[in-house]
């Protein structure tokens, strides 16, 4: 017997706010979280723009006892997971038996950076004793488990920019299989370290002026940071405890391009969308909205549009398609979580998020990208797309409850 999966809790931290209420308000207003990068010596970076979390003081959220063990990416995961659990009003009986699946593209980069600075720049002979438990890729998942008292399956998923979407898929599969009734899932990343920013500069895919997905003058992505977490439950478990249900996670689809490490494949993306629709047993013509991967790079936006045409054919021109990365930036392993939340709230509230900074459609970008302003419209079924470097694709189908 397969158990239907519903969404009962949302939690986030991003450049658009320290919680989901602020995040959603900014999305509806078409408000940008992109600004001049802070925290680095002037002249050391070519990259000028980033979507950094603002107004955040770790000591206001975590004790002095806990902070030495919490990399920035783990802090974000904990904040978002705690908000999602509180939003779902999970009781003390449900939470210990839950699962937690946390995606990350980078892991504890802040810890790595501090260690290299300590050893190579300051010429110290020893690393900090907490370096491994603080910076390991699974640290955020472990911290969520320990601080929330979760004793069920807990693990990390890492698939670059698809990490959160893949994590949500894995959590949903466990619920459907009857392994757990409740799962916390999503993604977290904090990539604003000097070494990582210089590495992104070297890829030459970063915008120097703004993030303009699908526009003819788009010049690349803008990095972001944060976390997006959701509480998933079996429908029966949610009903039994009289939980508020935001929406249904109707289906998941995954694929790999098995092609190029950075150049995306329309066929690979299309296979993931087809798989998600087949899993949900939904006809492509029933989809109203697609939250696109929409990075703002030349290759992604054109290829994703081609993939949408392959999947939806004549219905593609009827779709509303938007990229919320134009507002919260590309938060790497956290992006899929933030975008999943935006899609859930779009369905719940009947508001389609915009693609801001849109000028004119780029070559091969010929769909309705909900340019610059949110749109009030009933959405019954939607897709949330995540496509990663290495051709690792994950897609969710979300439907009205």
What is the rounded CA–CA span in Å between residue 189 and residue 109? 9
Do 219 and 340 fall into the same domain?
Answer: no
Cα torsion 35, 38, 42, 44: sign: negative
Do 222 and 265 fall into the same domain?
Answer: no
Do 263 and 312 fall into the same domain?
Answer: yes
What is the rounded CA–CA span in Å between residue 167 and residue 160? 12
Q: Please determine, for residue 162, whether its predicted confidence score (pLDDT) is greater than 80.
A: yes
Last residue of a domain, one of 214, 240, 266: 240
The C-alpha angle with vertex 115 and arms to 37 and 145, in degrees rounded to 5, equals 85
Q: What percent of the chain has pLDDT over 70?
A: 100
Q: Catalytic site residues?
A: 161, 293, 330
Residue pair 246/343 in contact (Cβ under 8 Å)? The answer is: no
**Which domain CATH number covers 36?**
3.40.47.10
Residue 245, in any domain of the structure: no
Q: Please determine, for residue 1, whether its predicted confidence score (pLDDT) is greater than 80.
A: no
- The predicted structure's pLDDT at residue 2: 81
Residue 35, in any domain of the structure: yes
Q: What is the pLDDT of residues 199-248, one digit of tens each?
A: 999 999 999 999 999 999 999 999 999 999 999 999 999 999 999 999 99
- Side-chain half-sphere of 340: how many Cα atoms within 13 Å? 42
- Side-chain half-sphere of 169: how many Cα atoms within 13 Å? 27
For residue 379, which phi and psi values (nearest 5 degrees)? -120, 120
What is the rounded CA–CA span in Å between residue 277 and residue 254? 11
Judged by DSSP in three states, 14 sits in strand
Q: How many C-beta atoms surround the C-beta of residue 296 within 10 A?
A: 27
Q: What is the pLDDT of residues 49-99, one digit of tens each?
A: 999 999 999 999 999 999 999 999 999 999 999 999 999 999 888 899 999
Do 320 and 220 fall into the same domain?
Answer: no
**Stretch 170-176: mean pLDDT:** 98
**C-alpha distances in Å from residue 315, one per residue of 11, 103, 179, 282:** 33, 32, 37, 14
Last residue of a domain, one of 240, 270, 295: 240
Structural domain harbouring 338: 251-399
pTM metric for this prediction: 0.98
- The predicted structure's pLDDT at residue 381: 98
The domain total for the chain is: 2
β-pairing, 320-322 vs 289-291, is parallel
**Stretch 130-144: mean pLDDT:** 97
**C-alpha distances in Å from residue 79, one per residue of 13, 61, 66, 95, 164:** 7, 8, 13, 16, 16
Q: What is the dihedral of CA 325, 156, 193, 330, to 10 degrees?
A: -10
Do 289 and 380 fall into the same domain?
Answer: yes
Q: What is the pLDDT of residues 383-396, one digit of tens each?
A: 999 999 999 999 99
Token pair listed for 348: 């719940």
Do 233 and 320 fall into the same domain?
Answer: no
Last residue of a domain, one of 184, 212, 240: 240
Q: What is the pLDDT of residues 268-314, one digit of tens each?
A: 999 999 999 999 999 999 999 999 999 999 999 999 999 999 999 99
Residue 246, in any domain of the structure: no
- The predicted structure's pLDDT at residue 134: 97
């Amino acid at each position: 017997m397969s158990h239907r999966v519903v969404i009962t809790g949302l939690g986030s931290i991003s450049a658009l706010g320290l919680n989901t209420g602020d995040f959603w308000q900014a999305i509806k207003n078409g408000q940008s979280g992109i600004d001049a990068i802070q925290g680095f010596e002037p002249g050391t970076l070519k990259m000028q723009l980033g979507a950094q979390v603002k107004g955040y003081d770790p000591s206001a959220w975590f004790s002095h006892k806990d902070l030495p063990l919490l990399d920035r990416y783990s802090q974000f995961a904990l904040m978002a997971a705690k908000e999602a659990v509180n939003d779902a009003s999970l009781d003390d009986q449900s939470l210990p038996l839950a699962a937690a699946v946390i995606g990350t593209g980078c892991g504890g980069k802040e810890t790595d950076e501090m260690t290299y600075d300590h050893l190579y720049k300051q010429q110290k002979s020893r690393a900090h004793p907490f370096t491994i438990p603080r910076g390991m890729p699974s640290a955020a998942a472990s911290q969520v488990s320990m601080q929330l008292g979760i004793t069920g399956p807990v693990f990390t998923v890492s698939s670059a920019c698809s990490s959160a979407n893949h994590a949500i898929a894995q959590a949903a599969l466990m619920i459907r299989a009857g392994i757990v009734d409740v799962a916390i899932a999503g993604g977290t990343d904090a990539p604003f370290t000097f070494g990582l920013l210089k590495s992104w500069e070297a890829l030459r895919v970063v915008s120097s002026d703004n993030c303009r997905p699908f526009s003819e003058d788009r010049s690349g992505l803008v990095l972001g940071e944060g976390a997006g977490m959701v509480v998933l439950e079996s429908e029966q478990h949610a009903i039994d405890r009289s939980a508020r249900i935001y929406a249904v996670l109707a289906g998941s689809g995954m694929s790999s391009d098995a092609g190029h490490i950075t150049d995306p494949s329309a066929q690979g993306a299309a296979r993931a969308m087809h798989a998600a629709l087949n899993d949900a047993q939904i006809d492509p013509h029933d989809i109203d909205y697609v939250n696109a991967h929409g990075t703002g790079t030349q290759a992604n936006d054109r290829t994703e549009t081609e993939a949408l045409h392959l999947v939806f054919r004549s219905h593609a021109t009827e779709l509303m398609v938007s990229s919320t990365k134009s507002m919260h930036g590309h938060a790497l392993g956290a992006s899929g979580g933030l975008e999943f939340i935006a899609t859930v709230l779009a369905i719940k509230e009947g508001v389609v998020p915009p693609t801001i900074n849109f000028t004119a459609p780029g070559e091969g970008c010929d769909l309705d990208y909900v340019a610059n302003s949110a749109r009030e419209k009933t959405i019954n079924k939607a897709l949330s797309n995540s496509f990663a470097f290495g051709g690792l694709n994950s897609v969710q189908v979300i439907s009205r409850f």
